[in-house]
């Protein structure tokens, strides 16, 4: 099993450019999440999706949009990238009743 996969692994953007981060899971999980990780701040939840067709804001949603394309895929879009969005982005998935979240390898984003 591949688990949770993310593309791309690394991306450099200029301020104002847009891009979409892709995430897919093959564990048939209902819930999926997008986090950002910044030094000294742990992980902060951007958006999550409890099931196909639903999405909800997390702790830091401003500047991002998400799409739950189907049960497998959950994408994160930056419409107009800003230097403050330089970070490492992680996708995760989980399934009740097991609360464990399973993480992808991350996407490193640098916005110049």
> DSSP code of 93?
E
> DSSP code of 3?
-
Binding mask 1-20 for other proteins (x = CB under 8 A): ---x----------------
| CB closer to other proteins out of 1 and 82 | 1
Note whether 61 binds other proteins by CB under 8 A.
no
Measured distance CA(105)–CA(62) in Å, rounded:
23
Cβ atoms 32, 25 nearer than 8 A? yes
Residues forming contacts to other proteins in the complex (CB under 8 A) are: 4, 33, 40-43, 45, 48, 90, 92, 99-106
């Amino acid at each position: 099993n591949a688990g949770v996969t993310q593309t791309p692994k690394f991306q450099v953007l200029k301020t104002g450019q847009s891009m979409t981060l892709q995430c897919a899971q093959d564990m048939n999980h209902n819930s999926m999440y997008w986090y950002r990780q910044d030094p000294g701040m742990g992980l902060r939840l951007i958006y999550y999706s409890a099931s196909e067709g639903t999405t909800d804001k997390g702790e830091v949603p401003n500047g991002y949009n998400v799409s739950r394309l189907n049960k497998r895929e959950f994408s994160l879009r930056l419409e107009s990238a800003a230097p403050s969005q330089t970070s490492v982005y992680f996708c995760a998935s989980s399934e009740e009743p097991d609360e464990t979240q399973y993480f992808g390898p991350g996407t490193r984003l640098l916005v110049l």
